[in-house]
Amino acid sequence: MDAYDYVIVGGGTAGCILANRLTASGTNRVLMLEAGGEPASMWINIPAGFSKLLTNAQYNWRFQTEAEDNTNGRVISVPRGKGLGGSTLINGMVYVRGQAGDYDAWRDAGAHGWGWKDVEPYFRKLENYEKGGPTRGHDGPMKLEQVKERFPISDAFIAAAQEDGLPFNDDYNAERQEGVGYYQVTQNRGRRWSAYDGYLQPVLSRKNLTVTTHAHVLRLEIDGQRCTGVTYRKDGQEITVAARVEVVLAAGAIQSPQLLELSGIGQPALLQAHGIPVRHALHGVGENYIDHFCTRMNWRVKNAVTLNEMSRSWRLGLAVSQYYARRTGILTLGTGLVNAFVKTRPELETADAQFFFVHASYANAAERVLDKLPGMTIGVTQLRPHSIGTIHIKSPDASAGPAIRPNFLSNPIDEECMVRSMQIARRIVEQPALRNHVVEEMSPGAATRTDADWLSFARRNGQTIYHPIGTCRMGEDEGAVVDLRLRLHGMAGLRVVDASVMPRMVSGNIQAAVMMVAEKAADLILEDAAR
């Protein structure tokens, strides 16, 4: 049996960072296991190619939620990245740190050592953002850019938001998040910049790092109260490897709890119901699932050329030529062009909703199929939802997806926030700066007036925007899965490092927070080893 100091399960965002940092000294022998392959598709490097990857089984696990009453019995797609780089290969590239208060709330809830002052240096450590001021990082592995493309209708949206009272904010990742402006994205000169690009690819030649792809981990190996290694399947064979120091589970908020349960770690009754021997009772595994729920409001527009037309026929040919010649144009765009972080109630201290404006409208939002006529969309999401769901296995088969139950819009606070957010989005569009462009509101439409109408629209049409967290929550209470150093409670030799450890949602897209968690975790792991 091969043995390594550390075995990292998962080659996604956190896994790439851990592989880089844990091998930097040259002394630790590290194995990374990834179920997918290397990022070889041309659509990965082209930012607009994310729409081609949302249903691509080679780079996407293509999970789905269970049907739930709160969302009218719909099954909702939950894309998760597959391959070295994980979800940073297929996401919309939007980079948001969140608010300082998010992390102070972690600390105040018991996650001591994870307050804003503790985590802020790690954001600066990972960032390479030339445009940023002194509060931003400038020489980290992750290349960041502000969206470069400007369009008259996007500038008009910014003007309309200012007319509605929002301040212009050129850097929502600096001291204040509230306001309107252009998004920051994980790109380098018009090309997607993934965790693979920033962290893993530069260190693949290190002799103490072994990366094994197409390796589907089946279970953790446990001896008493210690995790000793993992068993994975590759090319039809089951292979077991040993971890002399630790196994680091970095499979993400969906698959980390799944793998714990497949290994006999979790709620005894659930494990026994699936015929899995209980190796370690831990009731919080798979609980505390939180995600961002988003509605998309669409308008038919005039006096503007939108992505709907720019991505068709001869215009698409010009866009392709422009991209390959200068790395500019519409192919550099991801899911967000203009941001707005808003307060749904004036008495709030900070923004509680986020808008994603893009000059496009979708015939099928889940699959990013564009309309043929000119349109624009505002994606509307609540920043810190209170609705909490679960992720648990529904089969002892490691190749079967888990049961994902988000429980969206189950909390009255979330219902009110979503309704108020959509009303604010409509109010912005009605401002003078956009009157020359708007023909009609297509979705939800002018007939939507009452709070009940708005809520019904959200339940019928809302989707996840792919930010699952919390299912292996850190903390010191009985419901926590890992301690404040991300070690599994009651089990030696096992740590979890990914979005699943976050105790509460952060205010915005989560990839920046995942990177921060991994950077900080690498320091914790090395500190513990030095002891």
Beta bridge partners of 376: 299
Token digits for 387?
């609705």
Beta-carbon contacts of 88 under 8 Å, excluding residues fewer than 6 positions away, are: 12, 13, 81, 186, 192, 194, 195, 196, 511
Beta bridge partners of 469: 290
CA-CA distance, 307 to 333, in Å (whole number)? 10
The answer to whether the CB of 80 falls within 8 A of the CB of 477 is no
Nearest to 141 by CA among 97, 198, 200: 198
Catalytic positions, please? 467
CA-CA distance, 339 to 98, in Å (whole number)? 13
367: number of Cβ within 10 Å: 11
CA-CA distance, 66 to 81, in Å (whole number)? 20
Per-residue H/E/C for 328-356: CCHHHCCCCCEEEEECCCCCCCCCCEEEE
Side chain identity at 111, as an amino acid letter? A
DSSP string, 356-368: EEES--EEETTTT
The values of phi and psi at residue 56, to 5°, are -90, 110
CA-CA distance, 437 to 435, in Å (whole number)? 5
Nearest to 43 by CA among 28, 61, 24, 60: 60
The answer to whether the CB of 404 falls within 8 A of the CB of 391 is yes
Kindly report the length of the chain: 531
Beta bridge partners of 187: 192
CA-CA distance, 266 to 260, in Å (whole number)? 7
CA-CA distance, 19 to 199, in Å (whole number)? 8
